[in-house]
Homo-oligomer: A and B are copies of this chain.
């Protein structure tokens, strides 16, 4: 099983995107992390984070790690869960 989360996250300017990406990548089951800046404010930065992983990836582990990094999970914009043997391009 594969799991993908698209997350809307509010973060202080520090820690930087590189450290957040590497920290999330270290969570069990995580295979892929992408962070993209959405908007930069005076104090905070709003970022879109995509985390992809295997079936044992838990949203709670991601939340916990984000909190350790002083980041707030604003919303879970998209969730994809599907079997490995299900070709994702076989739909129209």
- Which residues of A pack against B, CB within 8 Å? 1-2, 4-5, 16-18, 20-22, 25, 31-37, 40, 50, 52, 59, 75-83, 86, 88, 90-92
Contact = CB atoms under 8 A, between A and B. Distances in A.
Nearest to A58: B18
Contacts of A5: 18
A36 B76 contact: no
Given A18-B59, A59-B18, A32 B88 contact: yes
A75 B50 CA distance: 19
A80 B24 CA distance: 11
Contacts of A59: 16, 18
Given A4-B92, A88-B92, A92-B4, A76 B18 contact: yes
